[in-house]
């Protein structure tokens, strides 16, 4: 029997062990997509206790606790932090096979030097160990980033954000990790939302553009893109139900936008026509700046309306959608390609049944403009587990070039989530190690080293064009 989560955790062949320990384990981390708060980095935030770090904004853990019948007061409510931690520890006892069991223990090992098991019985011991550690200087937000060997991270930012904290970080010579904004214009696109007109006022104010037409909106967004670009932004991101393609004339789109400003009812077709026009304009701008376009789709959000009204979005009530019109995605990419405005693009679907479709579609729009110009994104959210990672990488390998894959990201709001890169790298080395030991790929360590280092780090450096040295 193998020891629990030891030095060779997930590495079940000699080749996998060699690949991980010799080539992957010491690599820096490039986190090109996350949801951490740049304000906390700028102010070098300190956490009072492990509950604040673990449960403060982690909807993965919240969902797990609800599945264990835990009262909401111990999840997002006002129960004491110690009691919340106890409830999570008791929940974790039942999480056999769940990645949160592995992630939680990796974080305890790497950041708190705790090699034991977290459960209801050990919760008090772990609580005291972690909280004592958190009082040390090396456990501040900036120190956690540095300890994790992070070279660069990209936050997720709205066009109306003034980027003041990014500026503060950039001007601080004492912190040498690059923290770059990512353009996330969902609120500017989603004109069906009740607060859309209020949002336009905010965007109008920061861009100094009075928004009375769709043309005005595009001008305001272009101005803000300039600001983001000046702060080092190289990536945009769109969270969508699905990628639509419902083209309309400029005049029709202006009419739709005008009707929305007037408070008139819009049909579903109206909304799709506007969003299509919005995406075509956006892609054109991204191409101009050489930004990478990330498209996250396949999620059905806020399914529990009662809890949405109580807690708001991103609180653990989303699920996988079974509606992904690949034909519309293909038509969208084709329209951009025809106009030569297709930027480098990463496609993420929350539905794993889309993996083969995405991998096959990506191959239709590759060219010599960039290596792996159209990427199948890493296993995302509900697929961010051992099975999901293996499935995504196998699909990519079967239908494309795994060696050009840009690898893992945290997609997290936690400063302890960098251990997920370790988790990914162990699984990557195990998968490739299996192929080598089964005679499906040569035991050429020089070439295998290149593949492991590229997927883990180098490919992302080149793909996004970051100012970083490769390894």
Q: Which of 138, 168, 196 is the last residue of a domain?
A: 138
CATH number at residue 87: 1.10.2020.10
CB 33 within 8 A of CB 462: no
Indicate whether 155 and 212 sit together in one domain: yes
Q: Which of 87, 103, 138 is the last residue of a domain?
A: 138
Q: Confidence band (pLDDT; 50, 70, 90) for 48?
A: very high
CA 337 to chain centroid: 26
pLDDT at 263: 95
Whether 282 is in a domain gets the answer: yes
59-91 pLDDT per residue, tens: 999 999 999 999 999 999 999 999 999 999 999
Q: What is the mean pLDDT of residues 194-199?
A: 97
Sheet bearing 29-31, strands edge to edge: 29-31, 150-154, 178-180
| CB atoms near residue 208 (< 10 Å) | 8
Indicate whether 159 and 110 sit together in one domain: no
Indicate whether 132 and 191 sit together in one domain: no
> What percentage of the chain reaches a pLDDT higher than 70?
100
361-403 pLDDT per residue, tens: 999 999 999 999 999 999 999 999 999 999 999 999 999 999 9
How far apart, in Å, are the Cα atoms of 261 and each of 31, 166, 191, 254? Answer: 38, 32, 9, 11
Whether 33 is in a domain gets the answer: no
> What's the start-to-end Cα distance of the chain, in Å?
36
Whether 197 is in a domain gets the answer: yes
Indicate whether 116 and 260 sit together in one domain: no
* Number of compact structural domains in the chain: 2
Q: Confidence band (pLDDT; 50, 70, 90) for 96?
A: very high
Q: Which of 90, 105, 138 is the last residue of a domain?
A: 138
255-293 pLDDT per residue, tens: 999 999 999 999 999 999 999 999 999 999 999 999 999
CB 68 within 8 A of CB 94: yes
pLDDT at 38: 97
Domain that holds residue 189: 149-464
pLDDT at 431: 98
Indicate whether 252 and 377 sit together in one domain: yes
């Amino acid at each position: 029997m193998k020891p629990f989560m030891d030095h060779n955790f997930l590495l079940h062949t000699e080749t996998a062990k060699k690949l991980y320990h010799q080539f992957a384990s010491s690599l820096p981390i490039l986190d090109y997509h996350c949801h951490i708060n740049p304000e906390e980095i700028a102010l070098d935030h300190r956490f009072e206790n492990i509950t604040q770090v673990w449960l403060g904004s982690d909807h993965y853990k919240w969902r797990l606790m609800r599945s264990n019948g835990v009262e909401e007061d111990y999840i997002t409510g006002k129960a004491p932090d110690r009691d919340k931690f106890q409830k999570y520890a008791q929940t974790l006892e039942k999480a056999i096979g769940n990645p949160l069991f592995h992630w939680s223990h990796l974080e305890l090992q790497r950041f708190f030097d705790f090699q034991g098991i977290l459960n209801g019985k050990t919760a008090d011991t772990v609580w005291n160990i972690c909280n004592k550690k958190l009082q040390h200087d090396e456990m501040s937000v900036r120190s956690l980033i540095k300890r994790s060997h992070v070279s660069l991270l990209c936050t997720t930012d709205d066009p109306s954000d003034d980027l003041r904290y990014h500026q503060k970080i950039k001007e601080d010579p004492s912190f040498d990790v690059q923290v770059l904004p990512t353009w996330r214009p969902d609120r500017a696109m989603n004109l069906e939302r009740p607060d859309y007109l209020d949002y336009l006022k905010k965007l109008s104010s920061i861009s100094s553009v009075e928004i009375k037409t769709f043309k005005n909106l595009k001008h305001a967004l272009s101005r803000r893109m300039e600001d983001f670009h000046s702060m080092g932004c190289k990536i945009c991101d769109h969270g969508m139900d699905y990628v639509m393609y419902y083209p309309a004339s400029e005049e029709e789109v202006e009419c739709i936008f005008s009707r929305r400003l007037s408070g008139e009812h819009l049909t579903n077709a109206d909304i799709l026509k506007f969003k299509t026009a919005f995406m075509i304009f956006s892609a054109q701008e991204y191409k101009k700046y050489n930004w990478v376009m990330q498209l996250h789709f396949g999620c059905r959000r806020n399914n529990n309306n009662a809890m949405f009204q109580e807690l708001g979005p991103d609180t653990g009530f989303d699920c996988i959608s079974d509606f992904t019109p690949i034909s519309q995605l293909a038509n969208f990419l084709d329209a951009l390609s025809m106009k030569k405005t297709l930027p480098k693009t990463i496609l993420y679907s929350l539905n794993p049944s889309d993996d083969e479709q995405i991998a096959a579609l990506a191959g239709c729009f590759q060219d010599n403009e960039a290596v792996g110009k159209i990427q199948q994104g890493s296993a995302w959210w509900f697929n961010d587990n051992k099975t999901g990672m293996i499935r995504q990488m196998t699909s990519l390998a079967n239908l494309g070039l795994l060696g050009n894959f840009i690898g893992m990201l945290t997609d997290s709001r936690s400063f302890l989530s960098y251990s997920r890169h370790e988790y990914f790298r162990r699984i990557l080395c195990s998968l490739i190690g299996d192929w080598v030991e089964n005679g499906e790929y040569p035991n050429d360590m020089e070439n295998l080293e290149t593949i492991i280092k590229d997927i883990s780090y180098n490919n992302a450096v080149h793909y996004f064009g970051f100012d970083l040295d490769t390894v």
